[in-house]
Amino acid sequence: MKQAQKLVAPLAEAFAKRSFASQRFAARAAEEVVAVDNAARKGCDGVLEVPSRLLMGPGPANAYPRILNAQALPLLGHMHPPFLKIMDELSEGLRYTFQTKSKYTLMVSGTGHAGMEAAIANLVEPGDKVVVGNAGIWGERVGILSRRYNAEVIELKTPAGTTFSYDTLKAALTQHKPKLLFLCQGESSTGTHQSLAGLGELCRQTGTLLLVDTVCSLGGVPLFADQWGVDCIYSGSQKCLSGPPGAAPFFLSERAMEALQKRKSPPATYNLDMNLIGDYWGWFGKRSYHHTGPVSTFYAMREALAIVSEEGLENLWKRHQEMHHRLWDGLRSMGLKPFVEKDEDRLITVNTIKVPEGVDWAALVKNAMDTYSLEIAGGLGPTAGKVWRVGIMGFNAKPQNVDLVLHAFRDGLKRQGKL
Ligand code: PMP
């Protein structure tokens, strides 16, 4: 206290002689102004430097330089007309990427989880039945999230490395007639690709909305939101779209929007209320402030979607397919095997590779990072300790990167005397 008074008195005196603003500050200086604690000061100073890494894990992937450069453009106000125009371009770019004519596309401010929570919070009302396809950790999380929003969750489980058959899903929908069916198109924890064939039609028969996670698959594998009858999609910016994390591509069909409008009560989240966010994005004809859009991240995603449209979806999907084959030709020549048994269940964007008996998977990962500044990941959830995961996504899906991954595998196995 004494020390504070010692400081305050001369401060107040000095400020009193200065401007009006200073005098007001001096009046408020009755709050104790003590000596600043500098203990943490050196913890965050100087110009930031980061190592350069080739990110060939399940994400984030490296971003195109053009996307990173866009983030250095001057900030605009989040309601300024030039920024609103960028938001309109994002909505349109998403329409192309999702293959929809729906008005209801936008970027949720946040990562894939924000998209996930926005979907559940808006489409589910307390007591609604939700059938959750749990093929790995993403289904598990959607189950947890749905319970937090008081849904009645019916969880379907399939062993790690497999997907749900149409018949299994049909039986569950016919029995439960749920409000919502959740499936993950690209299950990055196991490396599976869930087919959506026939499910939109099926969901229409049982009055169910079809929600699909495409965080690891959008831009890497075909998706036709309208044609396939999907009602809600959330995705990620940092995988096959090669942007920075922080903006989640999001889509609602007309049916999903009707369900949202018919809710008995507003969603329990204000932050992710799609009626309010939709208003910011101009879904309902006007523009109201809901939150400050992450301006620089949206610039980046504007560039990311421009790159998608310049390359064309068919070319993008083909490039991912070719790099997946290049990877597996090389891995198989070393005797390595896919974790996902069936060809048709295998995700091409995040590849899961069985760790052979007696091989130290972590040592191989460490060697890749230490020697080549290359990220290869281990398993996650049900695959922990059993697989390596190699992501070949967006900007990174090119021969020289795949060849470096193969080189790191060869080197890693040789060092352990396994090749
Ligand atoms: N779904 C899938 C399939 C994912 O791979 C991820 C991220 N690895 C997420 C959801 C969550 O996304 P985020 O980490 O961007 O919140």
Q: Atom 13 in ligand 1: which residue has the minimum CA distance? A: 112
Say which amino acid occupies 345: D
CA distance 150 to 125: 7
* CATH assignment at residue 81: 3.40.640.10
pLDDT at 4 over 60: no
- Confidence check: pLDDT of 16 > 60: no
pLDDT digits (tens, 9 = 90+) for 107-156: 999 999 999 999 999 999 999 999 999 999 999 999 999 999 999 999 99
User: pLDDT, tens digit, for every residue of 279-312?
Assistant: 999 999 999 999 999 999 999 999 999 999 999 9
Same domain, 305 and 324: no
Q: Is residue 378 part of a domain?
A: yes
Residue identifier of the C-alpha nearest atom 12 of ligand 1: 112
Q: Is 415 helix (H, G, I), strand (E, B) or coil?
A: helix
- Would the pLDDT of 178 be above 90? yes
pLDDT, one tens digit per residue, over 364-402 is 999 999 999 999 999 999 999 999 999 999 999 999 999
Assess whether 248 and 170 both reside in one domain: yes
Distance CA 376, CA 27 (A): 58
Residue 114 alpha carbon, nearest atom of ligand 1 = 16
Determine the angle formed by the axes of helices 112-123 and 254-261, rounding to 10 degrees.
60
Quote the pLDDT of residue 258.
98
Indicate if 305 and 182 belong to the same structural domain.
Answer: yes
How high is the pLDDT of residue 392? 98
Q: Tell me what pLDDT residue 2 has.
A: 46
CB 242 within 8 A of CB 307: yes
For the CA of 184, the closest atom of ligand 1 is: 3
Q: Of 276, 311, 346, which one is at a domain's C-terminal end?
A: 311
Shortest-distance atom of ligand 1 to CA 217: 3
Instruction: Indicate the annotated binding residues for substrate.
Output: 389
Q: Say whether both 107 and 138 belong to one domain.
A: yes
Same domain, 164 and 138: yes
pTM of the complete model = 0.94
Q: CA dihedral defined by 362, 191, 222, 329, rounded to 10 degrees? A: 60
Domain finish residue from 311, 327, 362: 311
User: Sorting pLDDT into bands at 50, 70 and 90, what band is 30?
Assistant: confident
* Residue entry with tokens 């919502």: 180
Is there a domain that residue 1 lies in? no
**How many domains would you assign to the chain?**
2
**Are 319 and 258 found together in one domain?**
no
Site residues for ligand 1, CB cut-off 6 Å: 58-59, 111-113, 138, 184, 186, 188, 213, 215-216, 236, 245
pLDDT at 9: 52
394 is in which domain, residue-wise?
Answer: 313-416
Rounded to the nearest whole angstrom, what is the distance from the C-alpha of residue 46 to the centroid of ligand 1? 32
Same domain, 152 and 267: yes
Tell whether 216 and 360 lie within a shared domain: no
**Distance of alpha carbon 292 from alpha carbon 287, whole angstroms:** 13
CA distance 172 to 155: 10
Domain membership flag for residue 18: no
Question: How do beta strands 105-109 and 247-252 pair?
Answer: antiparallel
Question: What local confidence, expressed as pLDDT, does residue 25 receive?
Answer: 56
Average pLDDT, integer, range 405-413: 98
57 torsion bin: left (phi>0), alpha (psi -120 to 50), beta (else): beta
Q: Tell me the CA–centroid distance for residue 82 and ligand 1, in Å.
A: 31
Note whether residue 51 is domain-resident: no
CA-wise closest residue to 180 among 219, 234, 221 = 234
Report how far residue 136's alpha carbon sits from residue 142's, in angstroms, rounded to the nearest whole number: 11
Q: Give the Cα separation of 38 and 335 in Å (integer).
A: 56
Site of tokens 């009006």: 20
Given this model, what pLDDT does residue 18 score?
52
For residue 276, how far is its CA from the centre of ligand 1 (angstroms)?
24
Confidence at residue 19, expressed as pLDDT on a 0 to 100 scale: 47
Residue 8 lies in a domain: no
Indicate if 319 and 210 belong to the same structural domain. no
- Asked if pLDDT for residue 361 goes beyond 90, the answer is yes
Centre of ligand 1 from the C-alpha of residue 110, in Å: 11
Host H or E run for residue 389: strand 387-391
- Give the pLDDT of residue 267: 98
Q: Which of 113, 116, 232, 351 to mutate to test the pocket of ligand 1 (most atoms within 8 A of CB)?
A: 113
Place of tokens 């992501």: 391
**What is the C-alpha separation between 124 and 130, in angstroms, rounded?**
8
* Binding-site sequence positions: 389
Model confidence over 92-114: pLDDT tens digits?
Answer: 999 999 999 999 999 999 999 99
* CB burial of residue 313 (10 Å; 0-12, 13-18, 19+): middle
pLDDT at 199: 98
Q: How far apart are CA 42 and CA 45, in angstroms?
A: 6
**Nearest ligand 1 atom to alpha carbon 238:** 15
Whether residue 272 sits in one domain with residue 380: no
- The C-alpha atoms of residue 363 and residue 374 are separated, in whole angstroms, by 13
Give yes or no: residues 300 and 333 share one domain: no
Q: What is the CATH number of the domain that holds 344?
A: 3.90.1150.10
Radius of gyration of the chain from its Cα atoms, rounded to whole angstroms: 25
Place of tokens 């709050």: 31
Average pLDDT, the chain: 95
10 against 346, higher pLDDT: 346
Domain's final residue, options 290, 311, 332: 311
**145: CA distance to ligand 1 center in Å?**
14
Stretch 2-25: mean pLDDT, rounded? 50
C-alpha 33 to ligand 1 mean position (Å): 45
- Asked if 243 and 385 sit in the same domain, the reply is no
